[in-house]
Chains A and B, each alone.
Chain A
Amino acid sequence: MDKLKTARGVIYFFLIILVIICFIPFYMMIINATRSNSEILRGFSLLPGGSLVDNYFTLDSYINIWLGFRNSLVIAVAVTVLNSYFSALTAFALVVYQFKGKNVIFITFIVMMMVPGQLGLIGLYDLSSTLGMLDTYWPLIIPAIAAPFTVFFFRQFLVTTMPMSILESGRIDGAGETYMFHRLVLPILSPAIATMGIFTFIGSWNNFLFPLVIIRSPRLYTLPIMIRQLQGSPVAQNLGAIYLGIAISVVPIMVAFIFLSKYIISSITAGAVKG
């Protein structure tokens, strides 16, 4: 038993080292965000400095990071809502009705899950240009309506959790199909919507390549694109300000994660074991 205790102690020690390694980049980011440029140039410190406010004004005089925040949020919310609603609608039709072409849709799903997103990059750019949608959010938002993976996930969920008898009795009571979708099916799907919604949101929030190609005007920049602009900009002369810019883009996500981590982790597990 004593041997086990020592083993456990050693293991915990290494686990804590690993946690420290995981967090040290973020820790240095936060510390350096509070230090002045000359302090950072002089050497490293594990204790915060007093230049947080100065750094903020330096950062704010070059870029409006909150605008990037707002833009990213607008896109991510729109993407998440459209993705959830239309995927649920499509999954509903696939589970409830028999119709021609159902199998074709299904096979297309499986194939499309293998296709890397960049395959259509050139085409999407050109299509957006033809439609006059370059430098707008439409090419980033509209494709969310057709998300094969989410539909697939919702379909599997409905097949296992929705009793068809609910719909039968609804029809007998004279409820329309659309009404039943909104009042019966969406509530049943809500756990699955929450799971996929988190991932869709994070995916959109972190998306880099597509906004990089589509967006031109600085006032439309999303957060990742704004972060890229920091590199090589005059702000880069002031290391404290650049650390602060990165910290502002990272800390809210970390805070959100603290509240959602249980949910996120259980859905990764579900995805892997079923997938």
Chain B
Amino acid sequence: MQKNDNRAYWFIAPFVIVFLTFNIYPILLTFYYSVTNYTGMGGIDNADFIGLDNYRRLIQDDFFFQAFFNTIRIWGMNFAIQIIIAMLLALLFSDIRLKLKGVNAFRAMFFLPNIITIASVALLFSILLDWNFGSLNQMLLSLGLISRPINWLNNPVYAQGWVALIGAWMWFGNTFIILMAGISGIPKDFYEAAYIDGANWWDSFTKITIPQLKPILLYVFITSIIGGLQIFDLPMLLTDGRGAPRGSLNTMVLYLYNQGFSYANFGYSAAIAYGLFIITVVFSAVTFKTMYRGQVKLKRGGVKK
């Protein structure tokens, strides 16, 4: 092994300088502002220290709780739709008896919505779902499936459902690809052995596939929840940007943005950012704990991590 080498500092200097300036410092500055009444004007000198008032306000703020539950509800529906479709697809395409063809083409087509700019997707759906002139209502009317146009984006339940559905549409392909990779890593003789022992399809799914997929499922779940808690572009651009209809699309990051940049409550907005951070950490930690409870036994020939 090499001895201490000072040349290394030259190589890492740009990273360290930028990291400290544009990453760490803004995070610390945000924390400082979260204990002040700063309005966003006039810099640090115009921020009066008010202790934990912003945090006290946060835990009593009905709008923040509304935003939290909206975010969770939208993420929950989105994740349920997404994981069911993705798992079903992954199982079908990895089935050794079915031998489905065209997996690469299907993967690419299912994945495509994922890379499209969310701003464009949101604006597109805001007009496709329009009450009078949206193509969806026009199509449903001309097929005779509905008799009157439905005001999709004016009803809280429908609006949240659509955000979840659009999210699932964008992400199921990604989840499918990841699950597929995980399933193809499970040794085939596990299934053959189970088959010889008389296990049916459901048994091999619940006793082999799911346990073997646990690390991958954990990865999917954690990345999905972290991304889901930050949902912003879609609810902002689908309706008026303030959470309409009736606050149902008010998500945590949208609330953070509006408090900071629409209402000039920088201090409070900073406190929301820290609230969101704490919620993210708690959710990730709980997921780790529940999924790895009693999971120390090593299985022979299991998926390498």
Contacts and interface: CB of A to CB of B under 8 A. Distances in A.
Contact of B277 (A4, A116, A249): A116
Contacts, number: 268
Q: Is the interface of A mostly helix, strand, loop or mixed?
A: helix
Q: Looking at A209, A223, A243, A257, which has the most chain B CB atoms within 10 Å of its CB?
A: A209
Interface in A5-32: 7-8, 11-12, 15, 18-19, 21-23, 25, 28-29, 32
Interface in B93-110: 97-98, 100, 104, 106-110
A120 interface: yes
Contacts of B230: 116-118
A249 B219 CA distance: 31
Contacts of B276: 116, 118-119
B232 A249 contact: no
A21 B165 CA distance: 12
Interface string A153-190: 00000000000000000000000010001000000000
B281 A97 contact: no
Contacts of A74: none
Given A22-B169, A23-B109, A112 B15 contact: no
Nearest to B271: A122
B119 A114 contact: no
A146 interface: yes
B106 A15 contact: yes
Interface in B1-35: 1-9, 11-12, 14-16, 18-19, 21-23, 25-30, 33
A11 B12 contact: no
A98 interface: yes
A70 interface: no
Contact of B118 (A90, A177, A206): A206
A205 B114 CA distance: 13
A116 B229 contact: yes
Nearest to A88: B11
B224 interface: no
Interface in A194-210: 202, 205-206, 208-209
B269 A122 contact: yes
A94 B12 CA distance: 8
Question: For the side of the interface on B, what is the size category?
Answer: 35 or more
A114 B280 contact: yes
Contacts of A262: 104, 108
Contacts of A11: 92, 98, 100
Given A116-B280, A119-B276, A250-B116, A28 B97 contact: no
A115 B274 CA distance: 10
A124 B9 contact: no
Contact of B8 (A97, A146, A261): A97
A8 B98 contact: yes
A97 B5 contact: yes
A238 to B, nearest CB: 11
Interface string A116-143: 1111111111110110000000010011
B52 to A, nearest CB: 17
Nearest to B259: A122
B74 interface: no
B181 A273 contact: yes
A118 B120 contact: no
B145 interface: no
The 8 closest A-B CB pairs, nearest first, are A123-B26, A123-B29, A120-B26, A93-B11, A97-B8, A224-B119, A146-B19, A44-B138
Interface of A: 4, 7-8, 11-12, 15, 18-19, 21-23, 25, 28-29, 32, 40-41, 43-44, 86-87, 89-90, 92-94, 96-100, 105, 108, 112, 114-127, 129-130, 139, 142-143, 145-146, 148, 151, 177, 181, 202, 205-206, 208-209, 212-213, 223-225, 227-228, 230-231, 239, 242-243, 246, 249-250, 253-254, 257, 261-262, 264-265, 268-269, 272-273, 275
